[in-house]
Amino acid sequence: MKFDIELVGKIGSMALINREKNDIDYNKFARIGRELKPGIIWVSSGATEIGRLDYIKRMGHELNGDKEENKTDYSAQGQAILMQTYRMFTDSRYNLRQVLVEHQHFNNDEKREHISSMLLRCVRQNAIPIINYNDAVSCEENRRMEIASLKKNSNHVAELIDNDETAGLIAGLVKTRILLILTSVDGIYKDSKDPSTLIEEIGGKDVDEVLANIEYCKTLCHGASRAGAGGAASKLEFIKEPIKNGTLVYIANAEYSIKDILSGNARRTFVGVR
C-alpha cells in the first residue's frame, strides 16, 4: 500500500506544560524537535495555555473577561511562542511552517484539496508543517451555527472539536502510514483510574474487526484530561477513517520518544490491522 506521508503526529496542550513549574515543558519540546523531519506533519495544541501562562508572567494575573474572549486573546499571544519554541529545538536545516485551520476548511472540497496540496509540497521542499486550530479568530457561537447549518445537508461534518479530530482529518486527507497521538497518559485503559489496565493493542484480522474492537473499547472510556477535551473515546472515534485507509495508529504518553513508541520500547496502545 502506498502512503503519501510517513507520520502525522499530535500532542495535547497539557502534555506541553510543566505543571510543577507552571511553565512550558522545554524538555518535551527539545525531545520532539530532535525527531521532527520532513515527511512528518505535526499537529500541536498548546497555544491557548501557553498564551495564558505568558500573560500571567507579564501581568501578574489572568484575564478576567468573557471566557471565549479570553481564549481568543490567549491563543493569539501563545501562537507566536508555540512556533518560536518549535523553531528553537527543530533541526535548523529544515523549514518550519505554521498552518492554522478551522472547521470550514475540511467541509469544502476545494479548501481540502488546497490544504492537501500544500502539505504534500512540504515533503518536497524540506519543510515540516506545524498545524493548530485557529482559536484566535474562531467564535464558538458562530462555529456552532455554521456546523448546525452544514449538518442539514450532510451526515459527515468536520467539527474540529479539538486537535485529536484535526489530526484524524489530516491523516485521512494526506494518507499517512502512521498516526501518532501523544497525550498525558500511556494510552487507552480498560479502567481510566488504573494504569495497569493499559490496552496494548486494539487489532484485528481486517479493518472491519479493528473497527468493531474500537467500538468496544470506546465503551470503556470515561472522562477527559481537561475541560473541553473529548477524552479517550473521542480519540478512538477520530482514528476510524485513517484506519480504513490502512494507517497504523499509536496512542501514547508524550513522556516517551517517538522512536521508542513506534519500536515497542514504550508503553502505548497500538490500533490497526496486523
Local confidence band at 223 (pLDDT 50, 70, 90 cut-offs): low
Is 0.95 topped by the overall pTM?
no
What confidence tens digit (pLDDT) does each residue in 67-95 have? 999 999 999 999 999 999 999 999 999 99
pLDDT of amino acid 222? 73
Instruction: Show the cell assigned to 150.
Output: 452544514
Q: Could you tell me the CA-to-CA distances from 232 to 3, 131, 158, 159, 249 in Å, in that order?
A: 26, 21, 18, 17, 14
pLDDT of amino acid 229? 47
Distance of CA 23 to the CA centre of its chain: 20
CATH number at residue 245: 3.40.1160.10
- Give 241-256 as a DSSP string: HHHHTT-EEEEEETTS
Any residues with CB less than 8 A from the CB of 209 and at least 6 apart, and which? 203
> Which residues form the domain of 17?
5-273
Name the domain count of the chain.
Answer: 1
What confidence tens digit (pLDDT) does each residue in 142-160 have? 777 777 887 887 778 888 8
